[in-house]
């Protein structure tokens, strides 16, 4: 749920803040949940993020508004080799400056761009994950499966081609 330090201010759900409101309040600290429906069409794997919230701090400086933000949440990712699913916490920060002449400060845009840039699209559960046996499908992290390694290595396939 939304909450803020400014009792009379409702944080806009779409995170598009009116610059005038921020100036009138002399800045703003707030937090907001990011509903998952915002990720579709922006992230390559929009269903990966199972939880996301942002902490925002707007401060006024001269004719500018400086916004620092911290996005944190959880991703459910799948190992690209062994297909194991792992829940991973994440935390990203950003800092943007806007002119007080800007009418709308679109924080949702910044949040989505930050998440898009930090997507983990080729996650590995461990740097040396052994993956699945391409023949029998056993998770090789749990031990050898007994299939003959040589018979389906890429080199063996090449060798077979040359011998024909
Ligand atoms: Zn793995
Ligand atoms: Zn096998």
Query: Which residue ranges make up each domain of the chain?
Result: 3-129, 130-164
The Å distance, Cα 146 to ligand 2 centre, comes to 6
Query: Environment class of residue 48 by beta-carbon count within 10 Å: exposed (0-12), middle (13-18) or buried (19+)?
Result: buried
Tens digits of residue pLDDT in 46-70: 889 999 999 999 999 989 999 999 9
* pLDDT for the residue numbered 164: 46
The Å distance, Cα 147 to ligand 1 centre, comes to 19
Tens digits of residue pLDDT in 4-46: 446 678 999 999 999 999 999 999 999 999 999 999 999 998 8
Structural contact between residues 90 and 74, judged by C-beta atoms closer than 8 angstroms: yes
Mean pLDDT within 112-128 = 91
Indicate if the pLDDT at residue 3 is higher than 50: no
How far is the first Cα of the chain from the last one, in angstroms, to the nearest whole number? Answer: 67
* pLDDT for the residue numbered 1: 40
The Å distance, Cα 34 to ligand 2 centre, comes to 43
The Å distance, Cα 122 to ligand 2 centre, comes to 23
Question: What is the chain's mean pLDDT, rounded?
Answer: 88
DSSP the chain: --EES-TT-PPPTT-EEEHHHHHHHTSEEEEEE--GGGTTTTSSSTTSEEEEEEEEEEEEETTEEEEEEEEEEEEEEE-TTT--EEEEEEEEEEEEEEETT-SEEEHHHHHHHHHHHT--TT--SSTT---B-TTT--BGGG---SS-GGGGSHHHHHHHHHH-
pTM for the model = 0.77
Give Cα 152 to chain centroid, integer Å.
36
């Amino acid at each position: 749920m939304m909450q803020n330090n400014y009792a009379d201010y409702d944080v806009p759900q779409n995170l598009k803040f009116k610059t005038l409101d921020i100036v009138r309040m002399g800045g703003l600290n707030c937090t907001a949940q990011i509903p998952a429906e915002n990720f579709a069409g922006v992230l390559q794997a929009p269903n990966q993020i199972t939880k996301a919230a942002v902490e925002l701090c707007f401060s006024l400086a001269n004719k500018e508004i400086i916004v620092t933000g911290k996005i944190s949440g959880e991703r459910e990712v799948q190992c690209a080799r062994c297909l194991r699913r792992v829940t991973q916490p994440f935390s990203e920060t950003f800092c943007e400056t806007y002119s007080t002449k800007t009418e709308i400060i679109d924080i949702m845009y910044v949040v989505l761009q930050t998440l898009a840039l930090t997507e983990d699209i080729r996650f590995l559960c461990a740097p040396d994950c052994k993956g699945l046996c391409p023949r029998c499908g056993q998770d090789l992290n749990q031990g050898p499966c007994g299939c003959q390694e040589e018979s389906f290595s890429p080199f063996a396939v090449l060798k077979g081609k040359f011998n024909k």
